[in-house]
Amino acid sequence: MPPSLPSTFEARTVTSQIGADIFVRSGGSGPVVVLLHGYAETSDSWAPLAAELEKSYTVVVPDLRGFGRSSRPDGGYDKKNQATDIRAVVTALGHDRTSVVSHDIGIMVAYAYAAIYPDKVERLVVMDAPIPGIEPWNEIVKNPALWHFSFHGPDAERLVAGRERIYLDRIWNDFSGDPVKPDEETRAYYASQYALPGAMRAGFAQFTAFAQDVEDNKIFQQTKLSMPVLAIGGEKSFAAMEATVMRHVATNVREAVVHGAGHWLMEENPAATISLITDFLKD
Q: Give the 3-state DSSP-derived string for 228-263, with helices as H, strands as E and coil as C.
A: CEEEEEECCCCCCHHHHHHHCCECCEEEEEECCCCC
Q: How far is residue 32's CA from residue 208's CA, in Å, rounded to a whole number?
A: 31
Contact between 166 and 40 under an 8 Å Cβ cutoff? The reply is: no
pLDDT at 185: 97
pLDDT at 277: 99
Q: Interior CA angle at 258 toward 253 and 263, to 5°?
A: 95
Q: Interior CA angle at 8 toward 181 and 96, to 5°?
A: 95
Contact between 24 and 69 under an 8 Å Cβ cutoff? The reply is: no
pLDDT at 1: 86
Q: What does CATH list as the number for 10-282?
A: 3.40.50.1820
Beta carbons within 10 angstroms of residue 52's beta carbon: 19
pLDDT at 283: 83
Reported for 193-196, long-range contacts at CB under 8 A and 24+ positions apart, including other chains, are 193/42, 193/67, 193/68, 194/40, 194/164, 194/168, 195/162, 195/164, 195/165
Q: How far is CA 282 from the centre of its chain?
A: 21
Q: How far is residue 211's CA from residue 224's CA, in Å, rounded to a whole number?
A: 21
Strand order in the sheet with 229-234: 10-16, 20-28, 58-62, 32-36, 98-103, 121-127, 229-234, 253-258
Q: How far is residue 17's CA from residue 81's CA, in Å, rounded to a whole number?
A: 10
pLDDT at 114: 99
Mean pLDDT by 10 residues, the chain (283 residues): 95 96 98 98 98 98 98 98 98 98 99 98 98 98 96 97 98 96 97 98 98 98 98 98 98 98 98 98 92
The whole-model pTM stands at 0.98
- The SS3 call for residue 54 is coil
Strand partners, 13: 23
Q: How far is residue 35's CA from residue 43's CA, in Å, rounded to a whole number?
A: 8
pLDDT at 257: 98
